[in-house]
Structure 1
């Protein structure tokens, strides 16, 4: 009888959370595919175009990541929250979709003009003009693909299906198009074409399959969305300063070969970051609506132990993977990966203290202030190692570790002050 009751209880939990489980499954498939696809193409690209030119491509695409942040302007977080709140109101959803898309198109257009002027005038960019030119159009992914809409509607299957199809095409074309060193600039071109195809497919899903309509938004609505998204935009930029600017630092101070090595290490560590990303994207709409601290705490503990297990596996497999991808085992790369893994475990906790608490409970401004303060801390550390001439692959990743620890302290302090650590139930 007890076994029967236990079975019924778990059956009820699974049924009650079936949307979460479905979305988790789709995101898991996508993240696994995203995780494995670079390991398929990376060895080939390293051998054909070399570490230096591959570093140029990685460097250019890293810049496009920051351009995408500007286009995003916090809408990917604010949009999810709005869509999750009004998911049953078709008219309001039409307004949300139209306003976000219009704002993004305006930002994208002015960024394009500025970027073309920059890469034409500065020699640092003009010597690899086409790599930087094509890399800009990878921003089609941020401009056209409405992750915020599918996430808010809790229909992750669209994100998965489109991305898997487009990325599969990209992988196949890499082997057919890239034949010698001079072909390196085709890598960002193929990425840009893939982003455009994914965007057009998502347009078809949004405005044909799902039946949403574009409504010319009012000026006041557009300004309101910009104001609401601005604190989240500042937060996103600030987070990127101490999480993804490292490739730019490595490229600017150490060289493009080191960019390739750093990028490889980051891709290995992404194997651990995957579960956190999937779980966060899956539960954020639910947490924003229901605001259950018990649920958030349970998920945070689960993620922590998943990270510990995955880090242990990665440590054991790193030499084998490194030998397969790079053709040899680099001691420097192994040390960098170890430091990154420690940072990743701490970052997993920070996501649940920040996004799944402060943002979900409506403390976006508090969240933004913490992230901005954290970024200043990181920039201060960079200034110190620059003045002391200590810049290396090791010191750059150690700065990330120190910054994540500092962020953990700030998040914990604020959550404790507000009362978002433990449920009062």
Structure 2
């Protein structure tokens, strides 16, 4: 009996399981392979210079949000809803590609001009200009298309190839502290290779690029706008920590904080994978029962591996980073956020967004950012920004606040 149920479950969700497998490969490769070069970069560059690299990447992440413009989520949803209509898919994809190109060109001109005008020394100019190549990830890589088609095999393959190339480039060209300005460039080159391959495959096998009508462009912008604003305000909150730590502490503390964030991101991979894998299915079926099962599974999974991971954090810190009481404590405390996120993410992505409440999701994100900025202002007033723990506890508190308002919104709209 149980065997039949398991077979039936696998058979009914074959596409989800297949997608889940490839998304797992993408996420694991994206996070684990860079950890091969991480200890090498810390040792070769030192904490201070590595912190400067992370600071430049944090600033570029703001531009990346503009270039992505929310299409990672909205485009997946729009295409999944018309998956059998090739004409409609061509129209949507063409409009997105043209819109992304226009936004990237404008953003590039503004960014380069700003760096040349406002950044003083030559080395820093090069650092921030090379960091901009990371935007090839948002500009060229069309994971949204293959995710909507529930065909993630090619993205997984391209990601593996690109990451392996990146590792080889780092060990070949980063040989001393003076090479720190090229770290981001090497990753940007890999994003470019992946993106070009991805777009060529999409155009040659799946869609015919056409000149989109103005109404099509307006439609894709309209569909993405609330998601874009949500991502923008969330990024302000997520990345401002790094910038403030660099301003009020130093770049070494940036490196310590970045390490704890990397471990947190690694721990969030299973939750992200599961929610991404079922997104296309939820877009079509909009099943409340399935959402509840998804949340339950996410909580059980995250609680289990967070408790298990606590045992190995000292060892992980010793192998990958510079072990200290501060870095171990920071990483352990950050892991608490995983359990909170395991409830919060499904409610947002497969709850509010799926059921069309993007404006409420945006409103919640705005309120989160306002709470965060007010907290930072109070921290500045009471001279707390010189403490790394202040940023830690603020981060955990903000994650908890996000969960509370998402539960409230989902209950209000009878999603849960």
> Tell me, what secondary structure is at the counterpart of 1:128?
helix
Partner of 1:303: 298
Partner of 2:219: 224
The Cα shift of 1:286 comes to: 0.8
Instruction: Say yes or no: does 1:277 pair with 2:272.
Output: yes
Residues 293-326 of structure 1, C-alpha deviation per residue, up to 9 Å, x if partnerless? Answer: 1111111111112111221222111111111122
The Cα shift of 1:416 comes to: 1.1
Structure 1: how far apart are the matches of 2:211 and 2:388? 49
Distance verdict in 2 for CA 1:244–1:302, change over 3 Å: farther
Q: 1:243 aligns with which of 238, 241, 249?
A: 238
Q: 1:153 aligns with which of 140, 149, 155?
A: 149
Equivalences for residues 207-356 of structure 1 within 5 A: 207-208=203-204, 210-326=205-321, 328-356=322-350
Structure 1: how far apart are the matches of 2:121 and 2:108? 15
Q: 2:179 aligns with which of 178, 183, 191?
A: 183
Structure 1: how far apart are the matches of 2:105 and 2:323? 44
Question: Structure 1, unaligned stretches of length 5 or more?
Answer: none
Contact 2:313 2:332 (8 Å CA) reproduced? no
Q: 1:387 aligns with which of 348, 361, 381?
A: 381
Equivalences for residues 356-367 of structure 1 within 5 A: 356-367=350-361
Q: TM-score under structure 2 normalisation?
A: 0.97
Structure 2: how far apart are the matches of 1:73 and 1:125? 32
Runs of 4+ in structure 1 displaced over 3 angstroms? 123-127
Q: 2:126 aligns with which of 113, 130, 135?
A: 130
Question: Structure 2, unaligned stretches of length 5 or more?
Answer: none
Contact 2:123 2:181 (8 Å CA) reproduced? no
Structure 1: how far apart are the matches of 2:371 and 2:393? 13
> Tell me, what secondary structure is at the counterpart of 2:210?
coil
Partner of 2:5: 9
Structure 1: how far apart are the matches of 2:268 and 2:156? 18
Instruction: Pick which of 20-29 and 31-40 moved more.
Output: 31-40
Distance verdict in 2 for CA 1:211–1:289, change over 3 Å: closer
Partner of 1:88: 84
Partner of 1:193: 189
The Cα shift of 1:175 comes to: 0.7
The Cα shift of 1:242 comes to: 2.5
Instruction: Say yes or no: does 1:204 pair with 2:200.
Output: yes
Q: 2:363 aligns with which of 364, 369, 382?
A: 369
Structure 1: how far apart are the matches of 2:88 and 2:50? 45
Instruction: Pick which of 247-256 and 172-181 moved more.
Output: 247-256
Instruction: Say yes or no: does 1:140 pair with 2:108.
Output: no
The Cα shift of 1:177 comes to: 0.9
The Cα shift of 1:127 comes to: 4.5
Residues 2-58 of structure 1, C-alpha deviation per residue, up to 9 Å, x if partnerless? Answer: xxx322222111011011001111111222222211221011111111111111111
Structure 2: how far apart are the matches of 1:64 and 1:314? 31
Q: 1:55 aligns with which of 51, 54, 59?
A: 51
Contact 2:37 2:167 (8 Å CA) reproduced? yes
Residues 335-358 of structure 1, C-alpha deviation per residue, up to 9 Å, x if partnerless? Answer: 211221112221221111111111
Instruction: Say yes or no: does 1:40 pair with 2:36.
Output: yes
The Cα shift of 1:73 comes to: 1.1
Q: TM-score under structure 1 normalisation?
A: 0.95
Structure 1: how far apart are the matches of 2:225 and 2:152? 26
> Tell me, what secondary structure is at the counterpart of 1:76?
helix
Instruction: Say yes or no: does 1:72 pair with 2:56.
Output: no
Equivalences for residues 376-415 of structure 1 within 5 A: 376-391=370-385, 392-415=387-410
Residues 402-424 of structure 1, C-alpha deviation per residue, up to 9 Å, x if partnerless? Answer: 11211222111111111111xxx
Distance verdict in 2 for CA 1:124–1:359, change over 3 Å: farther
Structure 2: how far apart are the matches of 1:268 and 1:348? 16
Instruction: Say yes or no: does 1:120 pair with 2:116.
Output: yes
Structure 1: how far apart are the matches of 2:344 and 2:121? 36
Structure 2: how far apart are the matches of 1:9 and 1:174? 48
Distance verdict in 2 for CA 1:126–1:300, change over 3 Å: farther
> Tell me, what secondary structure is at the counterpart of 1:118?
helix
Distance verdict in 2 for CA 1:125–1:163, change over 3 Å: farther
